[in-house]
Structure 1
Amino acid sequence: MNPVRLIGGEMAGWTDPSPVSGALAGRLLDLLRPLVPEDGRVLVAGPHAPSLVDVLGSFASVTCLVRSQSDALALGGHCDTVLCGTLAKLTDTDRYDVVVALDGVDRLCSPEGPQHDWAESVRVLRRALRPGGALLLTVENELGVHRLVDRGLATSGDRSWSPLGEFGTKPGTPARLAERLTADGLTVGWLASAWPLPTAPSLAVAVEVLRDGPAGALAAAVTGAVAVAYADQPVLADPRRLAAAAVRAGLGPELAPAWLVLAVRGDRAPTALPGVLTADGPTGALPSGRLVEELLITACLGHDLPELRRVLGLWALRHPGAGFDNLVLDGDTLHLLDPARPNREPGVVLHGFARTLLTGGYAQPWPAAADVPALTAILLAVAGLGPEPPDCPEPGPAEPRPVREHEEQVRRFEHRLAEAADQLRHTEIELAKREAELRRARLQIAAFSGTVGYRLTRLGARAARQAVRAVRRSDPS
Structure 2
Amino acid sequence: MSEVQVVRGEMQPWTDRTSPRPALAALLTDVVPANRRTLILGPHAPQLIESVLAHSADVTILVRSVADAQQLGEDFGPCLQVIAGALDGLQTPPYDVVIASDGLDRVLGYDSADLSWSERLAAVAALAAPDAVVVLGLENEFSLLNLLDSRPAAERHGDDEWRPLHDDPSRPVSVEQLRTALPWTAEVYADFASRTYVRADVAANARPGEFPTRLAVAALEQTDVPLLSPAHEGVDTAARAGLLGSIPTGWLAVIGAQPSHDIYTETADTVLTADQNLTGWDTTISGEPVPATELSFDPGVVPATVSAGVSVESVLFRLASAEDVPGFRKLAADLGDWVTESRVVLRWDDVVYDGESFAHGVSGWVTEEPVEKEDLLAAAWVRFHERLVGQHRRHPWPPWMLGDDLVSAWLGMSGVEAPEQTPATSPDTPPATSEQVARGKEIARALDEVLGTATGTVDVRTALAEAEAAKHELFELKGHVYGLERTLGFRNKAMKTRENRIRELRGQLQKVTAAHERIRGSRTYAVSRVIFHAAQVRKPKVVARKISRKIDRKIRKR
The TM-score with structure 2 as length reference comes to: 0.68
For residue 277 of structure 1, what is the aligned residue in structure 2? 264
Task: Tell me: CA distance 1:97–1:64, structure 2 relative to 1, closer, same or farther (3 Å).
Answer: same
For residue 58 of structure 1, what is the aligned residue in structure 2? 54
Matched, 1:414 2:471: yes
1:63 Cα deviation from its structure 2 partner? 0.2
For residue 162 of structure 1, what is the aligned residue in structure 2? 164
> What are the within-5 Å matches in structure 2 for residues 202-213 of structure 1?
202-213=195-206
For residue 474 of structure 1, what is the aligned residue in structure 2? none
C-alpha separation between the residues in 2 aligned to 1:213 and 1:68? 40
For residue 350 of structure 1, what is the aligned residue in structure 2? 381
For residue 172 of structure 1, what is the aligned residue in structure 2? 173
For residue 378 of structure 1, what is the aligned residue in structure 2? 409
User: Aligned Cα RMSD in Å?
Assistant: 2.9
1:32 Cα deviation from its structure 2 partner? 2.4
Preserved CA contact (<8 Å) 1:361 1:409? no
1:323 alignment partner AA: R
1:421 Cα deviation from its structure 2 partner? 6.1
1:345 alignment partner AA: L
**How many pairs align?**
415
Matched, 1:333 2:324: no
For residue 143 of structure 2, what is the aligned residue in structure 1? 144
For residue 109 of structure 1, what is the aligned residue in structure 2? 108
Task: Tell me: CA distance 1:334–1:43, structure 2 relative to 1, closer, same or farther (3 Å).
Answer: same
Deviation readout 1:409-450 (Å, 9 max, x if unpaired): 2323434555566688899999999xxxxxxxxxxxxxxxxx
The TM-score with structure 1 as length reference comes to: 0.79
C-alpha separation between the residues in 2 aligned to 1:213 and 1:359? 26
For residue 453 of structure 1, what is the aligned residue in structure 2? none
C-alpha separation between the residues in 1 aligned to 2:118 and 2:406? 54
Preserved CA contact (<8 Å) 2:95 2:129? yes
Preserved CA contact (<8 Å) 1:86 1:109? yes
Of 65, 69, 73, the residue aligned with 1:68 is 65
C-alpha separation between the residues in 1 aligned to 2:121 and 2:481? 68
C-alpha separation between the residues in 2 aligned to 1:3 and 1:128? 22
1:336 Cα deviation from its structure 2 partner? 1.5
Preserved CA contact (<8 Å) 1:238 1:401? no
C-alpha separation between the residues in 1 aligned to 2:365 and 2:386? 21
2:339 alignment partner AA: H
The more displaced of 60-69 and 113-122 is 113-122
- The gaps in structure 2 that reach 5 residues or longer are 282-306, 368-374, 419-432, 491-558
C-alpha separation between the residues in 2 aligned to 1:210 and 1:147? 19
Task: Tell me: CA distance 1:142–1:55, structure 2 relative to 1, closer, same or farther (3 Å).
Answer: same
C-alpha separation between the residues in 2 aligned to 1:223 and 1:41? 38
Preserved CA contact (<8 Å) 1:211 1:252? yes
For residue 517 of structure 2, what is the aligned residue in structure 1? none
C-alpha separation between the residues in 1 aligned to 2:396 and 2:339? 24
C-alpha separation between the residues in 1 aligned to 2:82 and 2:24? 20
For residue 9 of structure 2, what is the aligned residue in structure 1? 9
For residue 291 of structure 2, what is the aligned residue in structure 1? none
> What are the within-5 Å matches in structure 2 for residues 235-250 of structure 1?
235-250=227-242
Partner SS state of residue 70, structure 1:
helix
Partner SS state of residue 7, structure 2:
strand
Partner SS state of residue 100, structure 1:
strand
The more displaced of 153-162 and 289-298 is 153-162
Partner SS state of residue 325, structure 1:
coil
Preserved CA contact (<8 Å) 2:206 2:242? no
1:206 Cα deviation from its structure 2 partner? 0.6
2:319 alignment partner AA: A
Preserved CA contact (<8 Å) 1:20 1:47? no
1:164 alignment partner AA: H
1:333 alignment partner AA: S
1:327 Cα deviation from its structure 2 partner? 1.4
For residue 457 of structure 2, what is the aligned residue in structure 1? 401
Task: Tell me: CA distance 1:228–1:342, structure 2 relative to 1, closer, same or farther (3 Å).
Answer: farther
> What are the within-5 Å matches in structure 2 for residues 54-133 of structure 1?
54-60=50-56, 61-76=58-73, 77-78=75-76, 79-91=79-91, 93-133=92-132
Deviation readout 1:160-210 (Å, 9 max, x if unpaired): 561224x442100011100111xxx3121x1110112xxxx2211111111
- The gaps in structure 1 that reach 5 residues or longer are 265-269, 434-477
1:226 alignment partner AA: L
Partner SS state of residue 365, structure 2:
coil
C-alpha separation between the residues in 2 aligned to 1:63 and 1:337? 41
Preserved CA contact (<8 Å) 2:312 2:352? yes
Partner SS state of residue 324, structure 1:
coil
Matched, 1:222 2:224: no
Partner SS state of residue 242, structure 1:
helix
Partner SS state of residue 262, structure 1:
strand
- Rg larger in 1 or in 2? 2
C-alpha separation between the residues in 2 aligned to 1:377 and 1:281? 35
C-alpha separation between the residues in 1 aligned to 2:489 and 2:310? 57
Task: Tell me: CA distance 1:29–1:5, structure 2 relative to 1, closer, same or farther (3 Å).
Answer: same
The more displaced of 373-382 and 251-260 is 373-382
Task: Tell me: CA distance 1:256–1:308, structure 2 relative to 1, closer, same or farther (3 Å).
Answer: same
Identity of aligned residues (%): 24
Task: Tell me: CA distance 1:136–1:426, structure 2 relative to 1, closer, same or farther (3 Å).
Answer: same
2:156 alignment partner AA: A
C-alpha separation between the residues in 2 aligned to 1:319 and 1:50? 43
